Amino acid sequence: QKEVEQDPGPLSVPEGAIVSLNCTYSNSAFQYFMWYRQYSRKGPELLMYTYSSGNKEDGRFTAQVDKSSKYISLFIRDSQPSDSATYLCAMSVYGNNRLAFGKGNQVVVIP
């Protein structure tokens, strides 16, 4: 079993819909949780960064962390065609900044 599980199934949504993505993890030592966006043929770009449990909002993006359930989520409101990309969850342990990534979710927002 991988440390970080992310259902890699592609997701197609109409423009304006809410996109909901999630990851589960097994390592209870993870304390830093991130979501990266990766466009085709590009490197990952940091989207959201949260520490420990709780919610964080940035514009149309909301990240949630539930450490008791070892579950993190990303919500994208009012999705736009420019949001079409692969979204990767990533996490790390305090004092060790190697990132453990999920497989990624390919999201397509249809105009």
Partner 1 sequence: GAGVSQSPRYKVAKRGQDVALRCDPISGHVSLFWYQQALGQGPEFLTYFQNEAQLDKSGLPSDRFFAERPEGSVSTLKIQRTQQEDSAVYLCASSPTSVGTQYFGPGTRLTVL
Residue 102 beta carbon to partner 1: minimum distance, rounded to whole angstroms: 5
Comparing CB distances to partner 1, the nearer of 75 and 101 is: 101
**Local structure of 94: helix, strand or coil:** coil
Give 85's DSSP letter: E
Q: Is 43 an interacting residue with respect to partner 1 (CB under 8 A)?
A: yes
Q: Which two tokens stand for residue 105?
A: 């979710």
Q: Which stretch binds partner 1 (CB under 8 A): 11-19, 63-71, 75-83, 87-95?
A: 87-95
**Three-state SS annotation for 24-55:** EECCCCEEEEEEEEECCCCCCEEEEEEECCEE
Residue of the chain from 27, 42, 52, 69 that contacts partner 1 (CB under 8 A): 42
Residue ranges that bind partner 1, judged by CB under 8 A: 4, 6, 8, 36, 41-46, 49, 88, 90, 95-104
